[in-house]
Amino acid sequence: MSDLFWLVTRLTPIAALDILVVAAILFWLLTIAQGTRAVPLIRGVLILLAVLVLLSTVLPLTALRYLLRTSLPALLLAIPIIFQPELRRALEQVGHTRSYLPFMATEHPHPGLGAIEELVRAAIALGRQRIGALIVIERDTGLQDYADKGVPLDAQLSSQLLINIFFKNSPLHDGAVIVRGDRIVAARCIMPLAEGPLPGQFGTRHRAALGISEESDAVALIVSEETGSVALAHNGQLDHTLGAERLRDELRALLVDDDKPPPRWRGNRMDKG
């Protein structure tokens, strides 16, 4: 009781504010990591540290105490390397400050309702013909680095053009198409591949869609060449076997109304990893 009283007497408003700020930062970082492969990694590290600290406290294990005391600084240095994708995503969210710092803003137009209708029409037609496709839709995080490595198009978005691009005999059908607003920026773009395990029915396109959705806030639309099914990847998660109406609703929620939270993935949701 005396220790608790001593702690309360030392809890000044500044100290309370300090604790709240640190707690808010930790909560924000955990929110960024939610739904990614970092969550089981964090859980494993915390469990391992808890067991080691408990053993070193209960038992007179001098060597283990020395190991914990000397390895913690190295662990802090390893955190940016281990959690590089999650930290990058967190910094990108901080960088989306166009509302507060207009002079630092970069305009990234989102597709409107007309562009979404063209995307849905193209996806359903490609799926019906069993033509594989990967369409990456840019949001706030710029994808120009990936577009520069592909074939520049800068063409008006249309379902017919998308079908022609991904037609099996087309020289542009390999790789991904990048869409910005109502324009097709580039085709035959190479996307980063996700590293986690995927079920056997998903191929390289699904892995690339998950990879770019982890690296950025982009929305990736996938059409399977084997089954003709349509899938959507966002924030490292995959929702597959989508019909036209559901695909349209989720694209509208993700791309049109920025004030509305992204849709809760229903039914055939699959968390990566």
Q: What pLDDT, in 10s, does the model give residues 117-167?
A: 999 999 999 999 999 999 999 988 888 888 988 999 999 999 999 999 999
Mean pLDDT of 80-100: 61
Q: Where are the domains of the chain?
A: 2-103, 113-271
Q: What pLDDT does 183 receive?
A: 93
Whether residue 34 has pLDDT greater than 70 = no
In three-state secondary structure terms, 163 is helix
Bigger pLDDT: 268 vs 31: 31
Nearest Cα neighbor of 156 from 111, 221, 102 is 111
Q: What pLDDT, in 10s, does the model give residues 189-240?
A: 999 988 777 776 788 899 999 999 988 889 999 999 988 999 999 988 888 8
Q: What pLDDT does 37 receive?
A: 57
Q: What pLDDT does 198 receive?
A: 76
Q: What pLDDT does 118 receive?
A: 95
Contact in structure between 143 and 136 (CB atoms under 8 Å): yes
Nearest Cα neighbor of 36 from 91, 80, 89 is 89
Which contiguous run of DSSP H or E holds residue 211? Answer: helix 204-215
Query: How far lies 144's CA from each of 39, 98, 141, in Å?
Result: 30, 18, 9
| Residue bearing tokens 């970082």 | 29
Backbone angles phi, psi at 189, to 5 degrees: -95, 145
Max mean pLDDT among 7-11, 82-86, 139-143 falls in 139-143
Rounded to whole angstroms, the Cα distance separating 249 from 116 reads: 10
Single-letter amino acid, residue 212: I
Q: What pLDDT does 95 receive?
A: 59
Whether residue 63 has pLDDT greater than 70 = yes
**237-239 and 269-271 strand pairing:** antiparallel
Report domain 113-271's class.
Answer: alpha beta
Backbone angles phi, psi at 50, to 5 degrees: -60, -45
